[in-house]
Amino acid sequence: MNDAQTLAVEVKAIEQITPLIKHFTLAAVDGGDLPAFSGGSHIIVVMRGASRVHRNPYSLLSSPRQLSHYEIGVRRMEESRGGSHFMHDSVQVGSSLEIAHPVNLFGLDKIARKHVLIAGGVGITPFVAQLEDLHGGTVPYELHYSVRSPEHAAFLDTLRSREGDRVHMYYDSEGHSIDFEGLLSRQPLGTHVYVCGPAGLISRVTNTAKSCGWPNSHIHWEQFSAPPMGDAFEAFLARSQLTVHVPPDQSLMESIEAAGVEVPYLCRGGVCGFCQTRVLELDGELEHNDHFLSDADKAKGKSIMPCVSRAHGKRLVLDL
C-alpha cells in the first residue's frame, strides 16, 4: 500500500482506560461508514508529526457489525520511537489521522471446533473484535486474559458483562498465572488456540501447545514488533542509486520512505512478509527482528524485512 490509498478519519473520542492504554474512537471524515472487516484485523495509522511520519499497526477492537466508527487501543510504550507517544500526547478529539484499509493476518479459523483465546495486556485488542464475531455462534470459545494487576485489565467490564464465565482472568499482582500445560492438554480435538501479547507469553503458549502435540495449523499468534532502535547505519538502494542514512530511532523502511522510495508493505510489524527485500551486497551483519523469515533464511543473509530489521557493518546494498 501507499499513502494515496488511505482513508481520512477524525478522532471522535479518547478515553484513558488503564494507566497505560488509551482508547481511541475514529470515524470517517465524510461521515459515511468505514470498510467492513473481520475480527483480528489491524489498521495502519499514519501520524504526521512535526519532524517525521509514523505508521503504526493497531488491531481494530470495535464490533465488525457496526461500521460508523473504528476503535483502537494504544499502549504507551516505554521505549517508544514516537508513534505511541504521538498518539498519547499529540492526538486530541477532533484531530485528523489517515488510516489504511483493514488487513487481517490473525483471522479465526472457520472450521475450528473450539477457540481458545489467550491475551496478555494490550494483546486483548484483536480478541475484543473476534469475540463479537464468535458471540451468538455455535462454536464454543473461551478467553484467558492475563494482566499485571486489576487496573490494567482493559475492556474487562464489557467482556465480562457479555461473555460471563467464558472470561478467565489472571492477575500477576495476585500471583495468578495461566496453567498453560493444564489448559492446552485438556482441549478437545479440533480446538484452535490464539495468542496475542508479549513475546514471552507467545513463546510459552506456542511451545507448550507443540509439546502437548498440537498441530502447527491450530496454533495462531500475532505480535507486532515495534521497529527496535539500534545503531545508525547506511544502506545503498541499487535501483534508485540512492544512499539512505538510518538513524538510531528510525526504521530502515521509514528512512527509505523519507528518501522518496516506496516499499510495499501490509503490517509494518515483521509479520506479513510483504516488504521482503533482496540484499545484494553485505559487508557486516543483518539484525533480523521479523517473525517471517525462517532461521535458515535469516542466516543466509539474502533478504531483509526493512519494516523492523536493521544492519551493522560497512556496506548494505538493497534491491530497491
**Site for another protein, rule CB under 8 A:** 1, 5, 35-38, 40-41, 64, 101-104, 107, 109-111, 217, 266, 272-274
The owner of cell 502447527 is: 216
**Residue 83 is which amino acid?**
G
- 55 versus 88: smaller Cβ distance to another protein: 55
Of 21 and 253, CB closest to another protein: 253
Q: How far is the CB of 157 from another protein (least distance, A)?
A: 26
Quick one: 21 or 266, whose CB is closer to another protein? 266
Residue 142 CB-half CA count within 13 A? 10
- Closest CB to another protein among residues 64, 198: 64
| Helix (H), strand (E) at residue 8 | strand 7-16
The 10 Å Cβ neighbour count of residue 170 is: 18
What does residue 117 show for φ and ψ, rounded to 5 degrees? -105, 130
Contact yes or no for 103/68 (Cβ under 8 A): no
Q: How far is the CB of 134 from another protein (least distance, A)?
A: 12
Q: Minimum CB separation from another protein for residue 193, in Å?
A: 14
Asked whether the beta carbons of 153 and 122 are under 8 A apart, the reply is: no
Q: Quick one: 236 or 274, whose CB is closer to another protein? A: 274
Minimum CB distance to another protein, residue 65 (Å)? 9
| Cα dist from 127 to 98, 142, 193, 313, whole Å | 24, 11, 12, 41
